[in-house]
Structures are given as C-alpha cells and as structure tokens.
Amino acid sequence: MHLDHDPAAPPCEPIAFGDFLKVDIRIGTIVVAEPYPEARKPSLKLRIDFGPGIGEKKSSAQIAALYRPDDLIGRQVAAVVNFPPRQIGKFMSEVLTVGFADTGGNVVLFAPDRPVPNGSRLF
C-alpha cells in the first residue's frame, strides 16, 4: 500500500467500519524526546505515556524538521498502538506517532485541541 501525501489525491478504497476499528489510535503524553541523528530522515526518539492500560511506549518520529525535543515534553500526541514493533535503525519503535504533511512535506503532529486522558481511543 502506498501512502500519498498529496492533499489533492483521491481517497483510498472504501473499507468496512470493522476494519477501521482494528486500528487502535490512542492519545498519550510525550515524557521524553531526544534527537535521533542516526535515522535516515530527520527524526526524534519519543517515549509516550498512554496511561495505565498501555503504559509508556517508544516511537521514532520523522518530526525533527519542525519540532525541538524540549518543546515536546508534556505535549499530547496520537499514535497507533497495535502495530507490531518496528526496528528503525538501532531503535525499536513500538508505536506509530501520526501526523499530516505540510506543504513542504514535513510532518505536523496530530493531537486533540483540548487535553484528554492518556489512553483515550480515537473513534
């Protein structure tokens, strides 16, 4: 499957609502953010607290072009928490932090506009 970041691209094929429910997207709060200079694309290593049901998880996020590590601590972000862990260089990424591409192709983080409890699920 190819992910098209072009805002003018048509929508993907229709899926069943049950397929959407299989993707577990939760809110968590960033507790640690560090540079990841070894990554191929400008990335940061994140540790995100998803609350007592999921706990803290690690994520390699291609967000270094727009975000500094110190500015991310305490910020809520959305992430897919039920993908298998993925090796990103020497770092094991446990969740996929989600965002949208800006006009320059840089990732803008996706987050609620008001605080919600860590672990809250997107529906």
Residue 118 in any domain: the answer is no
Q: How many CB atoms lie within 10 A of CB 27?
A: 22
Alpha-carbon gap, residue 105 to 83, rounded angstroms: 24
- Tell me whether residue 22 is in a domain: yes
CATH at 48? 2.40.50.140
Task: Please report whether residue 103 resides in a domain.
Answer: yes
pLDDT digits (tens, 9 = 90+) for 69-105: 999 999 999 999 999 999 998 999 999 999 999 999 9
* Residue 101, domain extent: 17-109
Higher pLDDT, residue 5 or 11: 11
3-state secondary structure of 19: helix
Q: How many domains does the chain have?
A: 1
Mean of per-residue pLDDT scores for the chain: 93
The band of 39, judged by pLDDT with boundaries at 50, 70 and 90, is: confident
Residue 10 lies in a domain: no
Res 1: pLDDT: 41
Compute the C-alpha angle 109/78/115, nearest 5°: 95
